[in-house]
Amino acid sequence: MSSKKNKKLTLTQQEYQAFAKAREPKRKVLRNIFRAFLVGGIICTIGQGLQWLFINYFDFTETTAGNPATAVLIIISVLLTGLGVYDKIAQWAGGGTVIPVTGFANTVASAAIEHRSEGYVLGVGGNMFKLAGSVIAYGVFSAFIVALIKIIIQWLGGM
């Protein structure tokens, strides 16, 4: 790959690159940042509102209200993915929809929808964790390492 970068381009290739670069659409960075911030903030505000709802109306504590709020966010994002709405929001908002919980649920649900024609076991079950599987494996491994560090610190503190 690096040898291709060092390779001299012919005059035609240089002209084509200049031609393509001149016609490449300019990215509207500030607009994209604003949209991502707006939609990501809205998703987080909905999550915070759900947590407030569970605390005030269902007698959860601040510690325990996060789990049902997260579950509701996952259900909403899977439903929106199934209806095709989440993809339209993501197209408009860009990176703002990659909030970990909703973005992960969207990834799993869209892979399951895409491979449903191959059957439930090999299609849906086999393919929906292809991309998400690495995230799950990394999360489990990270949690294991953090738990080991915590145990070592507690053990050293007890000496």
Q: Is 159 a member of any domain?
A: yes
Whether 86 and 148 share a structural domain: no
Phi, psi dihedral angles at 70 (to 5 degrees) = -65, -40
Please state, as a whole number, how many other Cβ atoms lie within 10 Å of the Cβ of residue 55.
16
pLDDT for 103-142, tens place per residue? Answer: 888 888 887 777 777 777 777 777 777 777 777 888 899 9
Whether 120 and 136 share a structural domain: no
Whether 95 and 141 share a structural domain: no
Q: Is 93 a member of any domain?
A: yes
Instruction: Enumerate residues 6+ apart whose C-beta is below 8 A from 113.
Output: 81, 82
Helix or strand or coil: residue 33? helix
Nearest CA among 91, 94, 90 for reference residue 29: 94
Nearest CA among 68, 79, 67 for reference residue 109: 79
Whether 65 and 106 share a structural domain: yes
pLDDT for 8-20, tens place per residue? Answer: 888 888 888 888 8
- DSSP assignments along 119-143, one per residue: -IIIIIIHHTTHHHHHHHHHHHHHH
Whether 100 and 113 share a structural domain: yes
Whether 79 and 105 share a structural domain: yes
| Total number of domains constituting the chain | 2
Q: Is 101 a member of any domain?
A: yes
Q: Is 4 a member of any domain?
A: no
Whether 88 and 118 share a structural domain: yes
Domain span at residue 84 reads 28-128
The model scores a pTM over 0.85: no
Q: What is the DSSP letter of 9?
A: P
CA 48 to chain CA centroid, nearest Å:
18
pLDDT averaged over the chain?
Answer: 87
